[in-house]
């Protein structure tokens, strides 16, 4: 399962790329708006941080298929080949996905709340389908369960599309999808950091260090022996 950062905070992205085995970054218009900067200025800086080989996902904002295609082409032209325009899974979006894929552009289908949206997006050629886990939960349904169902539909129908689960509230949701083997998740920096934030882990590391320093001296490591 790929682990992708869902943010446009360049400081947070730089930190996570340095310390964690992440596979890329997703953004959306709301996340970009929080930066207070021009969208392509931020996106180009993110691309510089993650390099050409990691995935970068950026959303189209036009409401009609023709405009979505124009947005998608511009996004890839500005940010490189390993960039996925995010296209909403609505009728105009399905039309746009098919055109972008015909142009050789990889697409992420977004704004997914139901398995049939994901099925139609995959049939339209999308590389990823992004169900909103927490938002689905807030509607009274099971977001993790919906993502698993989408994964099963893709497998059963031999569709070359992966789940890119988004909108998480905790690391337990990420764990459940990792156990199930979905293609990818994208999570906020706080959720990614939460994967290993545990007082018991910190206490164990501190105890090992204290025992070692009691043996060889404070501040010494294996490299000093």
Distance CA 95, CA 111 (A): 15
Residue 224 CB partners (closer than 8 Å, separation 6+): 216
- Respond yes or no: is residue 220 known to be catalytic: no
Tell me the sheet residues that pair with 90.
none
Q: What angle is formed at CA 56 by the lines to CA 55 and CA 60, rounded to 5 degrees?
A: 140
Are residues 210 and 29 in contact, defined by beta-carbon separation less than 8 angstroms? no
Helices (H) and strands (E) in the chain, counts: 11, 8
Chain mean position to CA 65: 24
Q: What tokens were used for 126?
A: 């999308």
Q: Residue 43: left (phi > 0), alpha (psi -120 to 50), or beta?
A: alpha
The one catalytic residue among 34, 86, 95, 169: 86
Distance CA 47, CA 64 (A): 27
* Catalytic annotation, residues: 86
């Amino acid at each position: 399962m790929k682990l992708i950062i869902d943010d446009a905070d360049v400081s947070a992205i730089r930190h996570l790329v340095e310390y964690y085995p992440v596979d890329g970054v997703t953004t959306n218009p709301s996340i970009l708006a929080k930066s207070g900067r021009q969208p392509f200025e931020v996106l180009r800086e993110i691309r510089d941080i993650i390099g050409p080989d990691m995935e970068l996902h950026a959303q189209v904002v036009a409401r009609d298929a023709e405009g979505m295609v124009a947005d998608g082409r511009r996004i890839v032209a500005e940010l490189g080949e390993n960039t996925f325009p995010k296209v909403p899974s609505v009728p105009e979006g399905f039309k746009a996905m098919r055109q972008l894929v015909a142009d050789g552009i990889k697409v992420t289908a977004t704004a997914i709340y139901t398995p049939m949206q994901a099925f139609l997006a995959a049939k339209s050629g999308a590389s990823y389908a992004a169900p909103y886990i927490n938002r689905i939960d807030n509607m009274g349904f099971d977001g993790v369960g919906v993502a698993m169902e989408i994964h099963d539909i893709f497998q059963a129908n031999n569709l070359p599309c992966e789940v890119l689960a988004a909108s998480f509230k905790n690391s337990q949701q990420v764990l459940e999808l990792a156990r199930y083997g979905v293609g990818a998740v994208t999570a906020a920096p706080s959720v990614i950091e939460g994967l290993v934030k545990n007082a018991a882990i910190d206490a164990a590391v501190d105890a090992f260090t204290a025992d070692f320093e009691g043996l060889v001296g404070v501040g010494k490591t294996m490299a000093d022996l």
